[in-house]
């Protein structure tokens, strides 16, 4: 299977991190323990300024990344690279205020939880590690996935003195402030994915919502639907079922990866179900996706730390407008209403989000014009079947800020664990291209370094 | 005299500014009125995407800049540029918490007062103004002096999507975290300036400190010195006199500008005083610098807002290590002791400074290596007689991040009001070079814009 190093090749460290980098109130000086892990195994050492691969954690405990992100360990040997995985503040074991309960109490304690602070954390940890290892001239390549990919590209933009380059996998940095029109966003790609897999499947799904509504509006309609879909608890509203299905299609599209290709699996079942009943077909798709379990929909589930954390993040700086408005959409019409959005965030947390802050701080509008002659060494990699690719950078910005995409790729696929047996050529090739670009950055850097040292 | 537009060509505006851009605590959402002034007179308008010259205020009320900074108004006509002057938070009329008294109460209210927040302020104001004027494709050139010059260069680095380029005049961005060894800093240039003006003058000053100490240690020594220097109040300690002289020499060197050249004036008087008495000579220098007034040293003086504001800033992020240690120095030996420094800031404000934060956030170490292939369009201009030039960027970093300096220049001279009669050729020429470079940036940008719009 994967060439990844075993997790126990990693040593765990904690950095005494500043709570608020951008403020000097007494409270800002509070600290918390930020977790990071290092694998020294392949590192060429500071004498040769061997590279450092730094994975910038996103909205989950870093352990998860360690087990599924293969790009670093699969390439560490040929680069003689040190590998470091750094956990994002407020996730995993890197939670301020002593406990998750305290940290998530309200906006007073959550206020410090945002992307600009996270980037400053990464800068401090990396500067600290380089100093400890006497490796101040080792080039750092930051790598991130999805939100973490945004962080990686932004890190290169804001901290070029800390990281030489960034591999930003499936990073929808243009999915803010209507840079990409919401109607061309996430749901339009999910629809395209299903339609390309099967026109009849797409039509069935498109029709199913009104069928569900029609039945739900009948007396006993909800219990009929509950039975039909083997729900774990009786449905109270049809939206429970619809949200579940919405989610299922989105997941299938986002992670539509080889060798299984979930969209094909779902559509195969929908198209293959006997009879003409739409809901029977849809349920066949559900079973095909989720496997045979005792029940579907309304599974009892605890809120994960990702649920909790990301919910806050989308109500502070990460305001990503989702909509489904075109007639072609296989989803019910859904318009993004910023005012409603702000209202609901305020109701939940007591403070409003700042929907324009990301573009103020990081830019995004007219990105080619802004960055064509500014910055360097960023790879924006995308799989075009990934719904988030709609907010990604899909064209080269300059010679050294480049877009690498795979037509059939899914979310973050290029940096997830490789599979030597089942990975298709286009995926192997995409990874090779990325490695080649990074090698070029590092070679050029070493030449600069040699000239600099003279 | 100056070609500057009259101040009443400027209209005053206020922007409802967010107190803390990097935090989402309820307190962070408080706002204050930030002042900015616009001169529309020469602007070519949004139809032609005519440029915007933005002066980024530093540690004083923006009115002061408006009256002494000529670069914008002297060049607005030929660029058809809009001129905007933006006041720095906590100065002038841009003070949060309702009043200066409230704002400066303690670290709880001062915590929001730092360079990263100021840059975010400027970004918000500029984005707001461009939007209001429908001028989102107008290239913005930010201009700043001294600390404001640091802000201008950092603004281009952090907000390239807001500003196309920066003219950073006398910006000692390398004067942090021992990038420049403190002993090669400010005092070494003051010494050099005086020594180049006159070797005997330099020797006299160098000798004077021990003479003062020797006299001060005698009974009645302090009253002798008080009389000798016509002090406004009797000296309580010899350090009062020594600090005054230290300051005077530093001011003379920092603002050693044509046509008067204060260092030459001071040294002329020191060398020209009759007799051999060192202190008589020194006093002649004092009179020559300060003019005939009723008294010198210990002038009653109120704390200015710059004194108050900058004192906080140097105890938060702006930790600039000053030292005088070489045997050649004309100043008494003074070693910068970071531990003592931190202690005294803590005693004054209750919180310690963060001496490594500037280099963490903005970089500076090995700046050529970090930026040679990153960023663009920054002019670092310096006068080499300016003691702050010791912390400036004096060599080109790349084709578009360039150093422009004048051997005989003083602090910020290139962007202060021009004088058509007395300005020497080298100064006129320095300004011309800067204008030419900015024209090149803008021409290239317009070409990019045209291609981008297709």
Q: What is the mean pLDDT of each run of 10 residues along chain B (454 residues)?
A: 68 98 98 98 98 98 96 98 98 98 98 98 98 98 98 98 98 97 94 98 98 97 97 96 98 97 98 95 98 93 95 98 93 96 98 98 98 98 98 98 97 97 97 98 98 92
Q: How far apart are CA A53 and CA A168, in angstroms?
A: 13
Strands A11-18 and A31-39: antiparallel
Q: What percentage of chain A reaches a pLDDT higher than 90?
A: 96
Average pLDDT of the segment spanning A351-372: 98
Whose CA is closest to A73, among A427, A410, A432, A415? A415
Residues of chain A neighbouring B351 (CB-CB closer than 8 A):
24-26, 29
Q: Nearest C-alpha of chain A: how many angstroms from B450? A: 10
Strands A52-56 and A140-145: parallel
Full set of structural domains in chain B with CATH: 6-177+358-453 (3.40.50.1820), 184-290 (1.20.120.980)
Judge if ipTM > 0.95. yes
Query: Which residue do the tokens 């989720």 mark?
Result: A290
With a cut of 90, say whether residue A301 has pLDDT above it: no
With a cut of 80, say whether residue A342 has pLDDT above it: yes
Per the structure block, which two tokens stand in for A214? 């029609």
pLDDT at B4: 59
Q: Is the pTM of this model over 0.90?
A: yes
Read off the pLDDT band of A1 (50, 70, 90).
Answer: very low
Sign (positive/negative) of CA torsion B288, B294, B298, B301? negative
Whose CA is closest to A147, among A319, A18, A32? A319
Helix (H) or strand (E) holding B83: strand B82-86
Q: Nearest C-alpha of chain B: how many angstroms from A317? A: 9
Q: Which of A19, A20, A23 to mutate to test the interface with B (most CBs of B within 10 A)?
A: A23
In this complex, the residue of A351, A377, A400 whose CB is nearest that of residue B29 is A351
pLDDT tens, A253-290? Answer: 999 999 999 999 999 999 999 999 999 999 999 999 99
The Cβ of residue A279 has, within 10 Å, a number of other Cβ atoms equal to: 18
pLDDT at A4: 58
Q: Nearest C-alpha of chain A: how many angstroms from B316? A: 7
The Cβ of residue B16 has, within 10 Å, a number of other Cβ atoms equal to: 10
Mark yes or no for CB contact B363/A28 under 8 Å.
Answer: no
Sign (positive/negative) of CA torsion A221, A223, A226, A232? positive
Helix (H) or strand (E) holding B381: strand B378-383
Average pLDDT of the segment spanning A32-55: 98
Q: How far apart are CA A452 and CA A454, in angstroms?
A: 5
With a cut of 80, say whether residue A207 has pLDDT above it: yes
pLDDT at A355: 97
Read off the pLDDT band of A89 (50, 70, 90).
Answer: very high
* Average pLDDT, rounded, for chain B: 97
Task: Answer whether A398's CB lies under 8 Å from A411's CB.
Answer: no
Question: Which residues are within 8 A (CB) of B253 and not within 5 positions of it... i.e. 6 or more apart?
Answer: B189, B190, B193, B194, B262, B263, B385, B386, B387, B410
Mark yes or no for CB contact B361/A136 under 8 Å.
Answer: no
The residue from B42, B88, B405, B411 that is catalytic is B411
- Considering only alpha carbons, which residue of chain B is nearest residue A122? B360
With a cut of 80, say whether residue A157 has pLDDT above it: yes
pLDDT at A434: 98
Mark yes or no for CB contact A161/B114 under 8 Å.
Answer: no
In this complex, the residue of A22, A350, A357 whose CB is nearest that of residue B117 is A22
Please say if B108 is a catalytic residue. no
pLDDT at B8: 81
Task: Answer whether A38's CB lies under 8 Å from A83's CB.
Answer: yes
Question: Which residues are within 8 A (CB) of B210 and not within 5 positions of it... i.e. 6 or more apart?
Answer: none
pLDDT at B2: 45
Task: Answer whether B139's CB lies under 8 Å from B166's CB.
Answer: no
Which residues of A form the catalytic set?
A: 146, 386, 411
Q: How far apart are CA B315 and CA B354, in angstroms?
A: 8
CA A196 to chain CA centroid, Å, is 24
Q: How far apart are CA A16 and CA A341, in angstroms?
A: 36
Counting beta carbons within 10 angstroms of the beta carbon of residue B260, is it exposed (0 to 12), middle (13 to 18) or buried (19 or more)?
A: exposed
* Conformation bin of residue A54: beta by default, left when phi > 0, alpha when psi is -120 to 50: beta
In this complex, the residue of B24, B127, B368 whose CB is nearest that of residue A110 is B24
Q: Nearest C-alpha of chain B: how many angstroms from A63? A: 27
Task: Answer whether B104's CB lies under 8 Å from B110's CB.
Answer: yes
pLDDT at B271: 98
With a cut of 50, say whether residue A322 has pLDDT above it: yes
Please say if B381 is a catalytic residue. no
Longest dimension (CA), chain A: 84
Average pLDDT of the segment spanning A62-91: 97
């Amino acid at each position: 299977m994967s060439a990844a190093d075993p997790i126990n090749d990693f040593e765990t460290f904690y950095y005494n991190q500043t709570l608020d980098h951008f403020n000097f109130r007494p409270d800002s000086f509070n600290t918390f323990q930020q977790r990071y892990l290092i694998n020294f195994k392949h590192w060429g050492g500071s004498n040769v300024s061997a590279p450092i691969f730094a994975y910038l954690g996103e909205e989950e405990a870093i352990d998860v990344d360690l087990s599924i992100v293969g790009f670093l360990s699969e390439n560490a040997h040929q680069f003689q690279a040190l590998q470091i995985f750094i956990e994002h503040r407020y996730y995993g074991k890197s939670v301020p205020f002593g406990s998750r309960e305290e940290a998530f109490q309200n906006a007073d304690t959550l206020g410090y939880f945002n992307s600009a602070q996270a980037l400053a954390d990464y800068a401090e940890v990396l500067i600290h590690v380089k100093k400890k290892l006497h490796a101040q001239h080792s080039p750092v390549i930051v790598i991130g996935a999805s939100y973490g990919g945004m962080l990686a590209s932004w890190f290169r933009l804001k901290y070029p003195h800390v990281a030489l380059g960034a591999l930003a996998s499936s990073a929808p940095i243009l999915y803010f402030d209507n840079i990409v029109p919401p109607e061309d966003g996430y749901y339009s790609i999910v629809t395209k994915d299903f339609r390309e897999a099967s026109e009849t499947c797409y039509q069935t799904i498109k029709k199913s919502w009104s069928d569900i509504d029609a039945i739900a509006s009948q007396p006993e309609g909800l219990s009929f639907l509950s039975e039909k879909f083997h729900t774990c608890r009786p449905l109270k509203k049809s939206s429970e079922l619809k949200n579940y299905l919405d989610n299922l299609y989105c997941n299938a599209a986002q992670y539509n990866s080889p060798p299984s290709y979930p969209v094909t699996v779902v559509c195969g079942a929908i198209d293959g179900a006997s009879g003409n009943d739409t809901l029977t077909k849809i349920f066949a798709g559900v079973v095909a996706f989720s496997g045979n379990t005792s029940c579907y929909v309304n599974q009892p589930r605890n809120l994960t730390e990702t649920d909790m954390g990301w919910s806050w993040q989308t109500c502070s700086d990460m305001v990503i407008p989702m909509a489904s408005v075109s007639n072609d959409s296989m989803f019910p019409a859904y318009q993004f209403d910023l005012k409603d959005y702000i209202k609901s965030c305020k109701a939940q947390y007591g403070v409003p989000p700042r929907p324009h802050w990301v573009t103020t701080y990081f830019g995004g509008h007219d990105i080619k014009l802004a960055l064509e002659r500014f910055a360097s060494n960023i790879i924006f990699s995308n799989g075009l079947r990934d719904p988030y690719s709609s907010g990604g950078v899909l064209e080269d910005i300059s010679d050294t800020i480049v877009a690498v995409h795979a037509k059939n790729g899914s979310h973050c696929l290029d940096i997830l664990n490789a599979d030597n047996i089942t990975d298709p050529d286009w995926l192997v090739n995409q990874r090779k291209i990325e490695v080649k670009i990074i090698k070029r950055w590092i070679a050029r850097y070493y030449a600069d370094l040699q000239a600099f040292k003279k």
